[in-house]
Amino acid sequence: MTRIATAAASQTALLDLMKAQRNVFEAQQQLASGKLYPDLKGAGHKAESIAAAYGARDRADAYKFTAERVESRMEITSIALDQLTDAATDLRVAMTTIDGTHIMSQAREAFENARNALSTQYAGGYVFGGTRTDTAPISATSLDDLVAAPTAADVFVNSNRRPVAKLDDQVTLEVGILASEVGEDLMAAFKRLAEFDAGANGPLDGPLTDTQQAYLQGEIANVMTAFDAIGDIVGENGAQQSRVENMIASQQQKSDYLTSLIGGLEDADMATAATRFQQAQTAVDVAAQTFSVLSQVSLLPFLR
């Protein structure tokens, strides 16, 4: 009977030792990883909630990344629109002078600046190209090219569709401006000026004639119309930028909330984990001593 009782006690002590060792291991894992569970399988009934929270946070982060790229594109677009606005202003100012040579020199420079603005690139694509990215959205490289084209619209080779970006589960936003939308009126003004210079009442070279001055006075109003059209697009782009900034902030808030939620579900309290580790280590020492003592129990001392 003594042997049976001793064996049972030893077995119990061994089980206590193994349990204490397991508790030490789990506490060590929590201290090392900062997590309550080594994986989702260890989370039990919380696993589904944790997985869903991770998925929602990943979507929020992905939408935020997309919105940030859209914001960068819009910032580049804004700079290009400012450059295009400056080109229209330069053309208008040049037309108010009475020196034809100066007017055409400034017109060529303004055209080059406008063409460069419309050919602005971002991340390997043309910001005014629409969904077409393989070529600059304006084919004319000089005023002569404009004169040769049937209409100003014919020098634009952008697609007819603006690119879109999905910024939330329910939000899809057009994020591009087409070169033909923002630049056609201005290019038409350049074309008319170049055609006049090459026509019967040209060239614009030296002091202006009365006919040339009358033409330029009338054309200034058209340039102002082009300027206003660009201004409308600038306003549209600014409004879209503001909306995208709000989407970035919204997705960041979602991500932060979900990160906090995930932490509440799976993050270990490090102070608690440290205390648990110390308690588990003490339990291991006690269980080991108890098992050692019971393993050495014998009736021999009592039979001597």
Of 293, 81, 291, 56, nearest to 177 by C-alpha is 81
Provide the residue ranges of all domains of the chain, joining segments of one domain with +: 2-34+268-303, 50-262
Tokens of 6: 């001793």
Instruction: Give CA–CA dist 140/109, Å, rounded.
Output: 14
Instruction: Give CA–CA dist 242/244, Å, rounded.
Output: 5
The stretches of the chain forming alpha helices (DSSP H) are 2-33, 47-95, 100-118, 143-148, 179-198, 210-266, 270-295, 300-303
Write down the pLDDT at residue 303: 44
Q: Is the pLDDT of residue 36 over 50?
A: yes
**Structure-token match 């400034």, residue found:** 106
Average pLDDT over residues 241-246: 95
Give the global pTM.
0.77
pLDDT digits (tens, 9 = 90+) for 52-100: 888 999 999 999 999 999 999 999 999 999 999 999 999 999 999 999 9
Question: Among 77-81, 117-121, 170-174, 199-203, where is mean pLDDT lowest?
Answer: 170-174
The torsion of the CA quartet 239, 241, 246, 248, rounded to 10 degrees, works out to 160
Mean pLDDT of the chain: 84
Write down the pLDDT at residue 263: 75
- Partners of 165 in the beta sheet? 173
Architecture of domain 50-262: Up-down Bundle (1.20)
